[in-house]
Amino acid sequence: MQVPAPFEYERATSVDDAVALLERLGPEARIIAGGHSLLPMMKLRLAAPEHLIDINDLAELAYIREDGGEIRIGALTRHRELLESELLAGLLPIFAEAERTVADPVVRNRGTVGGSLCQADPAEDLSAVCSAVKAQVVIRGSGGERVVGMGDFHRGPYETAVGDAEMLVEVRVPLRDGAGSAYEKVERRAGDWAIAAAAAALWVDGGTIADAGVALSAVGPTTVHATRAEEALRGQAPSEELFARAAGIAAEDCAPTADQRGPVDYKRHLARELTHRALRRAAARALHQEV
């Protein structure tokens, strides 16, 4: 039987209380909500925090709402709530598409958006989604809040911009006219980690792509933010030729490794094909066409 190393347990009563506990207990304290990422690592002794701070009582962090031209998602929002949100389905369908591929109902009922992003697993789905739609995250510490873009949030594999005495409290996604988004993923079996996955978002104005977001999962040491592919799309009219070219650039810029899920060439091929498909469907949605 795999058993975690001994730890102390605290239950936070508010966000301020959780931050104060993090500050008092030091760098060996970890936040826990769903626990589906942290607990398996603790059982394998890949993580051995001395203190766990349970934030499941913090209802103030569980919401999905439109506010000031943004969609705001609390860090304690469960995967199931993202999947079932009518607001997200209408404005950002990429979230529901990604959530349908996340694990199983047991995990989706307990796992949280904050936990997924802070785990920073290179194969994690929501990190690619948030990167593609230009999301920002709000990080709170005792000195106040700071807002960080997804490009600066992930510092490396399993490493983020959240400091020892800080916690992620919110995800903010800007709303803009002419938007379309889509998510494509290949997995060995339903609910598994991706072999490769692609998230795409396009903003079309007057028949031209005003802005683009492209991100890949499971084909690099971190979520791959395909900035060269985005640049190739901006200012161009949507077309199959354009999407194929951008997808090729995204595949060139990822860095897959060979493992039990497949060789490098296969994963790079998937990155290209999935990016192409996601761009095609994102454009169709932006142009209000059938997808």
Instruction: Give helix 264-286 / helix 240-253 axis angle, nearest 10°.
Output: 140
Q: Give the pLDDT confidence of 115-132 residue by residue, as tens digits.
A: 999 999 999 999 999 999
The domain segmentation of the chain, as residue ranges, is 8-53, 61-174, 179-285
Class of domain 8-53: alpha beta
User: What per-residue confidence (pLDDT) applies to 1?
Assistant: 62
Provide the whole-model pTM: 0.95
User: What per-residue confidence (pLDDT) applies to 2?
Assistant: 78
Q: Give the pLDDT confidence of 218-273 residue by residue, as tens digits.
A: 999 999 999 999 999 999 999 999 999 999 999 999 999 999 999 999 999 999 99
Class of domain 61-174: alpha beta
> Domain 179-285 classified CATH 3.30.390.50?
yes
CA distance 195 to 9: 36
CA distance 118 to 155: 11
Q: How many CA atoms lie within 13 A of 53 on its CB side?
A: 26
